[in-house]
Chain A
Amino acid sequence: QKEVEQDPGPLSVPEGAIVSLNCTYSNSAFQYFMWYRQYSRKGPELLMYTYSSGNKEDGRFTAQVDKSSKYISLFIRDSQPSDSATYLCAMSDPNRDDKIIFGKGTRLHILP
């Protein structure tokens, strides 16, 4: 089983819809969980960062971590065409946190 699994998409949703993106992982030692957004031919940009389980909200973005299920989610409310990008989940083990493992990324298209 891969350490981090993420559906590559593409995922197409109409403008204004709620978007749900998710990743599963196999390493129970992961404690730091991140979501990055990557526009085409650009570097990843940190969107959300959470430690351990729970929810975190920042504007239209909500990150959820369920460690018991080894499942993390990113929700985008009131989606806009400018949200169209690739979303990468990433996670790390605090005992080895020099190495952050990324998912493959989900390509998201918001249709005007």
Chain B
Amino acid sequence: EPEVTQTPSHQVTQMGQEVILRCVPISNHLYFYWYRQILGQKVEFLVSFYNNEISEKSEIFDDQFSVERPDGSNFTLKIRSTKLEDSAMYFCASTQGRTGELFFGEGSRLTVL
């Protein structure tokens, strides 16, 4: 069964460092998303991406965040200068159409010290 894969599964970084989280969405999907979940809290929308551009972003997704689809398979989330409050589980998701049937990856746990 096709799945969304994410790397790394866990990353520990120092405050102020840049972090890149990587995702390989399901191959025939067209819409890509990043969500985050701070421990014990709800899953929060960060950004959606379609046709090589951001289609929507939340207020969380400020200038420190960026997304890229550098080739036909990878979808990355970059945090330029990490803050303590960026510590969370980051989930990549993809869907074939704009119908809400999101398929999530296993997540990348980011710990900022």
Contact = CB atoms under 8 A, between A and B. Distances in A.
A98 B56 contact: yes
Contacts of B33: 98, 100
Interface of A: 32, 34, 36, 41-46, 49, 88, 90-92, 94, 96-105
B43 A102 contact: yes
The 5 closest A-B pairs by CB, nearest first: A43-B104, A98-B48, A98-B56, A32-B100, A102-B43
A44 B91 contact: yes
A76 to B, nearest CB: 20
B102 A100 contact: yes
B4 to A, nearest CB: 8
Contacts of B107: 41-43
A33 to B, nearest CB: 8
